[in-house]
Structure formats: C-alpha cells, structure tokens
Chain A
Amino acid sequence: MIKALPRLGLALFTLPMLGGLVVGFVPAFSGGFAELAGWPGLPRAVALSVGTGMGATALSLLLTGLIVAMLHDRPAFAPLRRMLSPLLAVPHAAAALGLAFLLAPSGWIARLLSPWATDWQQPPDLLTLHDPMGLALTLGLVAKEMPFLLLMALAALPACAPAQRLVLGAALGHGRLSAFAVGVWPPLYARLRLPVMAVLAYGMTTVEMAMILGPGLPPTLSAQIAGWLTDAGLRHLPVASAAAIVQLALVLAAMGLWRVAEGAGRAGLRYHIGRGRRAVWADAPARLAAMGLGFGLAGLLALSLAGLGLWSVAAEWRFPADLPQSLTLQTWARALPALGHSLWLTAVIAFGATGLALGLVIASLQFEQSHGLVPDRWAERALYLPLLLPQIAVMPGVQVIALHLGVEGTALAVMVVHLFFVLPYVFLSLAPAYRGWDSRLGVAAATLGAGQTRIFWHLRLPMLLGPVLTAAALGIAVSAGQYLPTLMVGGGRVGTLTVEAVALSSGGNRRLIGVFAVAQLALPAVAFALALAVPRQVFANRRAMLAERGR
C-alpha cells in the first residue's frame, strides 16, 4: 500500500493534463483531419518541426557533453558558468526577440559592420531570419537549451564520480575526451535522458521562438497551430485540434527515433572501446571547440539581451548607427506603473508554486528514501508528462475543465496550474543530488543518537542547500516564463509579466519589449544569483561543501 503512495500522488498531478488533452482533442473529429490533409504546407511543416527540434536537441546535447568533458574542472569553467546561469532565466520569447534584433539585416551585427566594412547605407535584402530551413530557429533553440542541459548535467555529475573515472581513463592511456566518453558519459547520459526528452519536446513544439525566428512559408507545425487557434472567427479550431494530435504523435515518434539513435551511439562507443582507440589527438580540438562554442553561444545570447536593454533606453536609433543617437528613460517611466503590479503578481505566483513544488518533491524523495523504495519509473514518467506534452494541445482542454469546475480566473488557480509545470523541473533538478546523498552519513548520525527528523533538518537538508536553491531558482524561472497556462486559466485577469510581455510583443515595439525583457529577466536572475551566492556565504568556512556541488 505504502509503495503505491507515490504513484497515487503523481496520478493526481497528471489527471488534469491528460483530461485537458482528451477534451482539447474533441474538436478535431468534426472535419479537422480532412482540412489538415488538404493543407499544402503540412509535409514541410512536419519536416521543420522534426528537423529543428531534433537538430537543436542533438547540438545542445553534443555541446553540453563537450563542455562538461573538457572544461568542468578547469579554471575557464567558472566564468562560463557565471555567464550561462543567468541566461537560463531568460524567457524564450525575450531571447528570441533579442537574437532577432542581432541577426536581422538591419540588426546590431549589420549596424556594427556598416557602412565601413560592408558599404551598406541601407539594410541588405538578405534572408538571415525566417530562413526556409529553420537555421535561425535552430540556433535560437540551442542558445536557450544548452544552458539548461548544462545545469542538469552539473546537477547529475557528482553522482558519476568524474574525477576518479577520468584518472582511471588517463591511466589506461585514454585522452581526456575519450576517457570521459567511455567512463563518465554513459552514467551521466542515463541521468540526462529525461531533460533531453523535455528539450526535444520543447524544441518541436515551441510557438514563440518559431514565430520570431522561424520560417513562415510554411511555419513549423506548432506555430501554425497557434495561428489557427488565434485566427479571427475561430473557424480553424477543428484543424488546429487535429494538428495538435499530429504534433503529439510527432513528438512521440521523435522520442522513439531518439532512442534508436541512442542505440547507435552506444554501438559506436563500444566499437571505439573494442578497437582500443584512445583518441588522444582529439583533446586539443575538442577543448578549442568547447571553449569557442560555449563562450560564443553565451556571448551571442548576452549580446542579444544587451541589445534589448539598450533599446529600452534608446530615443532614436536608426540604421546604420552602432548605438542609439540619444538615450531616454521615457519608455521606462511610461511602463513603470503597470510593471510594478505585474512584477509583484509574478513574484507571488512564482514563489508560491515553487515553494509548493519544493515541499512536494522533498517530501516524496524523503518518503522514498526512508521507506527504501526503488524509484518507480512509470510514476516518474507520469510526472514529466507536462514537459513532454505540447502546451498548445493541452491547455485549451484544461481551461474547459477548470471552467466546468469553476476554479479559474484567480491568481491561486494560476499558481496551481504553474505547479504542474514547475514540479517536474524541480524534481529533475533536485532528485539526482537528493538520491546521490551518501546515506552512510545518515547511518553515522543515527548511531550517534540523532532521530530521523534531526538528520533531515540538521544534516541532509543543509548539505543539499545548493541543489535545493538551484532547483528553486529553476522553478521560479519556469513559473515566471509560463504564458499559455497563465492566460487560459487566469482568464486574462492574472496579468503576469510574461502575459503582458507577449501582448506587447505582438505590437513589435522594441523599446517596450526591451523594458519587459529586462523586467522578466530580473526575478529569475535574482533567484539564480541567490542560488549561487547563498551557499558561498553559508559555507564560507566549509570548503568541501562547495566542492561537493562541482564548483
């Protein structure tokens, strides 16, 4: 009975999502599939969704592996991590808008190079954004997802004993990359699989990034669904619903395909070992690539945000001027009254949802540990359901259910629906460290007479302070970034920063978008800064506690 408790608890969380899915799919069966089949853009849109989603996931994972392998215990890693952590907090739409301003033919890079290097007096007619292959979209996805995977990898790394295994690999004559690939990567990847699947699902179903950076003729399937859902007169609800079913099937198929690719990767690794290759030659180029791509990507994203920030105080800034001709605080002054209220609301919801999620996750992990339960794979998969299902397919149905139950339109309802999305991220980020805690410490404390409660509060939790705070920061970032759940369950009455920002970005005013991007960034950035700073302060005289966290 007790064994079933985690399952029952988790089922409670998946029911609304599954219900939303079923309810949302109803309209599809009134002619939606026929209309979808008649849409000439379907094959290309499907190819784009799969191509950009899988491509971006593979690139993000490859880069994450490369950085962890070559840099995680090197001095260069600290600055890279400091640069990347706040970027994790950047909402997807803001990152995409910043990147769009950087890359457009009239954007910042072109401005910095014109006219002295390019001879462009007016912007060239180049297709750098919205390219038919979705390259700009893929770049945006990689820039946004790589920091996330890196954070997840760092959370899981200590459990893989990298130092010992790398030494062992080196003793056997392997180069650093080879030793990592053979010794550390297999256990690390096993712990990364779920985050990778979440990234894959997100990449294939993102709406904001696809609309801002992706192609339009046709757009990705998810962007087209969003277009159909918001089309005037609601004539396209059946086809949107049918396309959402196809989208879900695509995500599942892509995950299957990914598993096949995993098998191929495993075979490749075995071949590598079997042939006795040690690939010492690969270390220098791999280190160079890790440094170049890691800092390059972080720099690109940082520059994008700097561009948006600059726009928020720009008075006039015309092509090809490198910098605004003059500065003004007018945009900020105008936005401030609305901003204050939204920021407060966003903070309350984010802290509430994250606090609840932390409580639930820690309670369930502690329950699992104290009852000696083996992690239930199916229950865990169910927990990740909200990450794996396209929001655009689930949320309309969830809204209908919430309406029927009469629980919506309030900040509390929004907080609860945020909890569904925050919970898996908090779990994902905290579980490896929590389970990896050396239980012999607990046994030692018990023999000294400490009770379970005391061990938990005075030993385990303080030792896990770093991971707990990181998980909390991630939860706050996730909550602050939610758009569709907030809009649909809030009935438009809960105007968080992201809801306001998306409405404003539909107006394309770069200055105002800049203001809101900075504001949106502020809350999660503060949370991440605290997650880094608090353990440093608390453990100032316990160096080993800091080392435990992989620096």
Chain B
Amino acid sequence: MITRRHLGQIGLAATAVALHPRLARAAEVQADWQAVLDAGRDQTVWWHAWGGDPKINDFIAWLGAEAEMRHGISIEHVKLASTADAVARVLAEQQAGKTEDGAVDLIWINGENFAAMKEKGLLFGPFAEGLPNWPLVDVAGKPAVVTDFTLPTEGYESPWAMAQLVFEHDTARLPVPPATLAALADWILANPGRFTYPQPPDYLGLTFLKQVLYGVMPDPARLQQPAGDTYAQDTAPLWAFLDRIHPALWRAGRAFPQNEPALAQLLADAEIDISLSFNPGRASAEIANGNLPATVRTFVLRGGTIGNASFVAIPFNASHSAAAQVVANLLLQPEIQARAQDPNILGFQTVLNLAALPEEDRNAFAGLDLGVATLSPQDLGPALLEPHASWMVKIGEDWLTRYGVTK
C-alpha cells in the first residue's frame, strides 16, 4: 500500500530527476530502451555486410547466436560483394516509394556510402547516441567515431571497429622495412617489381594515395577542408612521387591488383614484398589461418598512418529498426569488442574507451594476445584523420586520367 510518505518520496525523487538532466535522460533512455528491446524481440535483422572474408562471416554468425540468446533476435548475414549494392538497393526502394518493410535492416558502412545515404535521406535516426552503450565509446580519444571522412555522423551510424593503415612485409625477403615515405620510394626504385597498390577507385588504393599526400604536402592540415583552388598545387608532389615510382612497380605499373584481397594474395604468393592493409591485426590472423608465412610482420611510417572507423547504419525503411538498434548496441558490448579485437577472431581495434570500462572488462582487453605480427598500440603510432571526401573523389578521378590508360 502506498502511504503518504511513499508519495512524498516519489515526489522528491521525481523532482531530483527533473532537476538533474543527466539522470532524467538516463531514466528516459532506460525506459525507451526497454521499449526498443521489447519491439525487437523475435525479429530477424537482415544485416548487409561485405562477405569476402570468412573470419568476418564467422564473427557475424557468432554474433547472431549471441543476439538470439540475449535478446531473442536472429541475424541473417546478407553477404555483399560491394557495400554499394546495399546502398543501391535502398535507393531503388526509395524511388519505388517503398517507405516501409525494406529489405535491408542494417548496413556495415562508412565514408562515401554513408555520405550518399545521409544526403539522400536514406537513413533511420539519429539513434547511435541514444544507445545504452554509447557512453563507453571513446569519442574524445578516437574522433573518427563521430566524424566519418570529416562528415559529422550526427548519430545516423554507430561505430563498431577502428581501422588503421599498416604495411605488411615478409622478413624472410625484407628484414628491415623502410620507415619513411622517402625511404619507401628509394626501396621501390631499388627493388623493381616488388611493390604495388590496389587500383583506384578501390578504397585501399585511394588510402595509399592519401597517405602519400599526407607525407608530401607542405601543409597536410589543409586536407581537413574541402579541396579548393589550390588543389592542383597541393597535389603536384603526389603526382611527382607516383611518376617516379610507377615504372618500378609490380608489372611496371601496367596492371594493378583490383582490391585489398587481390593485393594480399600477391604477398602470399611472393609476387611482392610489401603489402598494405586497413586492419592492423590482419597479418597475425592470416598467419594463424595458414594463409601467410609466419615470417610476415607489419610496420607503419613515421608520423602516423590514416585511420578511420567502421560503422553500422539503419535504412529509413528498415523492416526491423528496433532489432537493428539492439544489434548496434550489442556490437558496443565490451566483451564483444574484445572478441573482435582478438587476432584469432578478427583483429579489429576497439572503439571503446578502455579507461572508462569496469576493471573486469578492461582485463579482457589486456589479456588479449595481439598476435605475432601485430604492432602494440604505441608502435602503431598516431592515427591520421581521413581527409575531406572531396580529396578522395578528385584524386581518384585524376589518377584515372593520368594512369588509367596504359600508354
């Protein structure tokens, strides 16, 4: 029975909640979140994610089992050859006037695909900053989790992994790798045919070009602004650099691997000695799987390498947006982030602020064996921010004009 005293207490508590906006918000979030959980139960999330890596496919299958156990949600992984297929799908649905019951519930996304979906109004949200696990995300330490290629995410996508450009080399053939961009160029010229990069507009190939740009531009801070009037002048050293190394590339620059996996295969087949990856833990994982020789190691260039985040987003017409949010939140769960960081599983870097985690969760990360070829966080060096997307577009177009047709 509720007495007058109880009522008074409730009243007081309500005043306290009302007076303290953070507490009020927390209570509200909790209530809202319970509604989301209830709505999501027994739903199936159709997660459209690149399907080219069996490790990632296995991780998503495992996550599906967790979601089923914890929240009664099942995950169907739609394995894509290209993320743009999912974007095109949602766009086609929008054009067909299909504003609900869409085929896509969740997309693994970042960069231009996100920018395109956001611009065309194809996204559900904002939802990310309302997720219960959002406070664990390292917004201050990893600004890339809220800035996707300089575009503010504004809660329309939720981060789940950090990526950073690393170089891979086989110590059996190249014991001491070059430490700077200039040294890399000298090494390429001294060892013709043993280096290449994926053909732009492949994202890893473009990332290599942006990395070079960071190294050769007098004022790299300019990259955070849209490419402007001084673009030609800014990028002149990049083209000079490429003109110099291209004749000494694999196949003398007359052919390029099409994407990251094709480049990785060249390293595994000993066709090249230095390769690139956007996953610092990839080499260790591939060694563990027997795809790379145990002598492969990773290295970075002095001054840091480009880093960015992977996100999940929900289309505006998703059939199961509640369950999709639950999955986005599940991905931020510390034990799941730790599993993703395990090089035997994925080797993806966490998006969480480890200092803010309870000790038990922190230990789960500290206890990880990063693998024989993975650099420690301090050796990995600083992660450089992605340049504004306009740079990538223009560089990609100019690359094709300059090198897209063999002479």
What are the residues of chain B within 8 A of A334 when measuring CB–CB?
54, 58
Given contacts A232-B112, A334-B54, A508-B262, contact A127 B82 (CB under 8 A): no
Given contacts A217-B255, A218-B405, A491-B89, contact A507 B53 (CB under 8 A): yes
Q: Give B338 Cβ to nearest chain A Cβ, in Å.
A: 22
In this assembly, does A235 line the interface, its C-beta being within 8 Å of a C-beta of chain B?
yes
What are the residues of chain A within 8 A of B76 when measuring CB–CB?
493
In the complex, the answer to whether B201 meets A231 with C-beta atoms within 8 Å is yes
- Cross-interface CB contact of B85 among A104, A318, A487, cutoff 8 Å: A487
In this assembly, does B29 line the interface, its C-beta being within 8 Å of a C-beta of chain A?
no
- Residue in B closest to A227 when the chains form the complex, CB atoms: B201
Given contacts A41-B405, A506-B50, contact A234 B103 (CB under 8 A): no
In this assembly, does B261 line the interface, its C-beta being within 8 Å of a C-beta of chain A?
yes
- Residue in B closest to A402 when the chains form the complex, CB atoms: B96
Indicate with 1 or 0, residue by residue over B80-119, a CB within 8 angstroms of chain A CB atoms. 1111111111011101111000011000000111011000
- Cross-interface CB contact of A504 among B51, B192, B258, cutoff 8 Å: B51
Indicate with 1 or 0, residue by residue over B47-58, a CB within 8 angstroms of chain A CB atoms. 010111110011
- Residue in B closest to A110 when the chains form the complex, CB atoms: B269
Given contacts A504-B54, A507-B52, A507-B261, contact A41 B255 (CB under 8 A): no
In this assembly, does A526 line the interface, its C-beta being within 8 Å of a C-beta of chain B?
no
- Cross-interface CB contact of B406 among A217, A234, A335, A508, cutoff 8 Å: A217
Indicate with 1 or 0, residue by residue over A222-251, a CB within 8 angstroms of chain B CB atoms. 000001011111110100000000000000
In this assembly, does B290 line the interface, its C-beta being within 8 Å of a C-beta of chain A?
yes
In this assembly, does A371 line the interface, its C-beta being within 8 Å of a C-beta of chain B?
no
What are the residues of chain A within 8 A of B92 when measuring CB–CB?
396, 399-400, 403
What are the residues of chain B within 8 A of A235 when measuring CB–CB?
112, 116, 393
In this assembly, does B254 line the interface, its C-beta being within 8 Å of a C-beta of chain A?
yes
In this assembly, does B404 line the interface, its C-beta being within 8 Å of a C-beta of chain A?
yes
Most buried by B among A106, A227, A491, A495: A491
Residues facing A in B143-200 (CB within 8 A) are 173, 192-193, 199
In the complex, the answer to whether B53 meets A509 with C-beta atoms within 8 Å is yes
What are the residues of chain A within 8 A of B269 when measuring CB–CB?
104, 106, 123, 318-319
- Residue in A closest to B83 when the chains form the complex, CB atoms: A232
In this assembly, does A73 line the interface, its C-beta being within 8 Å of a C-beta of chain B?
no
- How many angstroms from the CA of A334 to the CA of B289 in the assembled complex? 12
In this assembly, does A173 line the interface, its C-beta being within 8 Å of a C-beta of chain B?
no
Residues facing A in B247-270 (CB within 8 A) are 250-252, 254-256, 258-259, 261-262, 264-266, 268-270
- How many angstroms from the CA of A122 to the CA of B250 in the assembled complex? 13
In this assembly, does B291 line the interface, its C-beta being within 8 Å of a C-beta of chain A?
yes
- How many angstroms from the CA of A451 to the CA of B39 in the assembled complex? 64
- Cross-interface CB contact of A403 among B96, B112, B193, cutoff 8 Å: B96
What are the residues of chain B within 8 A of A396 when measuring CB–CB?
88, 92
- How many angstroms from the CA of A106 to the CA of B250 in the assembled complex? 13
Q: Give A489 Cβ to nearest chain B Cβ, in Å.
A: 11
Q: Give B251 Cβ to nearest chain A Cβ, in Å.
A: 5
What are the residues of chain B within 8 A of A106 when measuring CB–CB?
266, 269-271
- Residue in A closest to B120 when the chains form the complex, CB atoms: A234
What are the residues of chain A within 8 A of B33 when measuring CB–CB?
none
What are the residues of chain B within 8 A of A499 when measuring CB–CB?
79
- How many angstroms from the CA of A400 to the CA of B193 in the assembled complex? 46
- How many angstroms from the CA of A338 to the CA of B80 in the assembled complex? 15
In this assembly, does A512 line the interface, its C-beta being within 8 Å of a C-beta of chain B?
yes
In this assembly, does B356 line the interface, its C-beta being within 8 Å of a C-beta of chain A?
no
In this assembly, does A310 line the interface, its C-beta being within 8 Å of a C-beta of chain B?
no
What are the residues of chain B within 8 A of A404 when measuring CB–CB?
96-97
- Cross-interface CB contact of A40 among B85, B88, B261, B400, cutoff 8 Å: B400
In the complex, the answer to whether A507 meets B103 with C-beta atoms within 8 Å is no
In this assembly, does B59 line the interface, its C-beta being within 8 Å of a C-beta of chain A?
no
- How many angstroms from the CA of A512 to the CA of B55 in the assembled complex? 11
In this assembly, does B401 line the interface, its C-beta being within 8 Å of a C-beta of chain A?
yes
Most buried by A among B48, B50, B51: B51
What are the residues of chain A within 8 A of B265 when measuring CB–CB?
508, 510
Given contacts A104-B269, A122-B270, A507-B51, contact A216 B79 (CB under 8 A): no
Indicate with 1 or 0, residue by residue over A124-143, a CB within 8 angstroms of chain B CB atoms. 01010111100000000000
In this assembly, does A211 line the interface, its C-beta being within 8 Å of a C-beta of chain B?
yes
Given contacts A492-B86, A500-B79, A504-B79, contact A123 B405 (CB under 8 A): no
Q: Give B396 Cβ to nearest chain A Cβ, in Å.
A: 9
Given contacts A44-B405, A319-B269, contact A495 B112 (CB under 8 A): no
- Residue in B closest to A326 when the chains form the complex, CB atoms: B290
- Cross-interface CB contact of A315 among B46, B103, B203, B290, cutoff 8 Å: B290
- How many angstroms from the CA of A396 to the CA of B265 in the assembled complex? 32
- How many angstroms from the CA of A318 to the CA of B270 in the assembled complex? 8
Most buried by B among A132, A217, A404: A217
- Residue in A closest to B78 when the chains form the complex, CB atoms: A492
Most buried by B among A39, A132, A403, A508: A508
- Cross-interface CB contact of B79 among A127, A399, A503, cutoff 8 Å: A503
- How many angstroms from the CA of A198 to the CA of B97 in the assembled complex? 36
In this assembly, does A105 line the interface, its C-beta being within 8 Å of a C-beta of chain B?
yes
In this assembly, does A215 line the interface, its C-beta being within 8 Å of a C-beta of chain B?
yes
What are the residues of chain A within 8 A of B268 when measuring CB–CB?
318
- How many angstroms from the CA of A218 to the CA of B262 in the assembled complex? 18
- Residue in A closest to B393 when the chains form the complex, CB atoms: A235
In this assembly, does A355 line the interface, its C-beta being within 8 Å of a C-beta of chain B?
no
What are the residues of chain A within 8 A of B256 when measuring CB–CB?
216-217
In the complex, the answer to whether A218 meets B81 with C-beta atoms within 8 Å is no
In the complex, the answer to whether A234 meets B52 with C-beta atoms within 8 Å is no
In the complex, the answer to whether A502 meets B54 with C-beta atoms within 8 Å is no
- Cross-interface CB contact of A125 among B104, B111, B250, cutoff 8 Å: B250
In this assembly, does A409 line the interface, its C-beta being within 8 Å of a C-beta of chain B?
yes
- How many angstroms from the CA of A132 to the CA of B407 in the assembled complex? 10
- Residue in A closest to B98 when the chains form the complex, CB atoms: A403
What are the residues of chain A within 8 A of B254 when measuring CB–CB?
127, 132, 217
Residues facing B in A374-419 (CB within 8 A) are 396, 399-400, 403-404, 409
What are the residues of chain B within 8 A of A316 when measuring CB–CB?
290
Given contacts A132-B254, A230-B84, A492-B103, contact A41 B54 (CB under 8 A): no
- How many angstroms from the CA of A97 to the CA of B115 in the assembled complex? 34
- Residue in A closest to B250 when the chains form the complex, CB atoms: A125
What are the residues of chain B within 8 A of A211 when measuring CB–CB?
258
- Cross-interface CB contact of A232 among B51, B54, B84, B104, cutoff 8 Å: B84
- Residue in A closest to B262 when the chains form the complex, CB atoms: A508
In this assembly, does B334 line the interface, its C-beta being within 8 Å of a C-beta of chain A?
no
- How many angstroms from the CA of A85 to the CA of B79 in the assembled complex? 31
In this assembly, does B403 line the interface, its C-beta being within 8 Å of a C-beta of chain A?
yes
In this assembly, does B307 line the interface, its C-beta being within 8 Å of a C-beta of chain A?
no
Q: Give A352 Cβ to nearest chain B Cβ, in Å.
A: 21
What are the residues of chain A within 8 A of B387 when measuring CB–CB?
none
In the complex, the answer to whether A492 meets B261 with C-beta atoms within 8 Å is no
In this assembly, does B293 line the interface, its C-beta being within 8 Å of a C-beta of chain A?
yes
- How many angstroms from the CA of A321 to the CA of B28 in the assembled complex? 64
- How many angstroms from the CA of A234 to the CA of B290 in the assembled complex? 37
What are the residues of chain A within 8 A of B264 when measuring CB–CB?
508
What are the residues of chain A within 8 A of B290 when measuring CB–CB?
315-316
Indicate with 1 or 0, residue by residue over B265-281, a CB within 8 angstroms of chain A CB atoms. 11011110000000000
Given contacts A218-B405, A508-B52, contact A234 B79 (CB under 8 A): no
- Cross-interface CB contact of B115 among A130, A227, A233, A400, cutoff 8 Å: A233
- Could you list which residues of chain B lie within 8 angstroms of chain A, going by C-beta atoms? 46, 48, 50-54, 57-58, 76, 78-89, 91-93, 95-98, 103-104, 111-113, 115-116, 173, 192-193, 199, 201, 203, 250-252, 254-256, 258-259, 261-262, 264-266, 268-271, 290-291, 293, 393, 400-401, 403-406
Q: List 15 A-B contacts (CB under 8 A).
A: A104-B271, A125-B251, A211-B258, A217-B406, A218-B405, A230-B82, A232-B113, A235-B112, A237-B88, A334-B54, A487-B85, A499-B79, A504-B52, A504-B54, A506-B261
In the A-B complex, the 7 residue pairs with the smallest Cβ-Cβ separation, listed nearest first, are A507-B52, A508-B261, A233-B112, A503-B51, A125-B193, A106-B269, A491-B103
Q: Can you add 5 more A-B contacts, CB < 8 Å, to A41-B405, A132-B406, A506-B50?
A: A127-B254, A232-B84, A400-B92, A508-B264, A510-B265
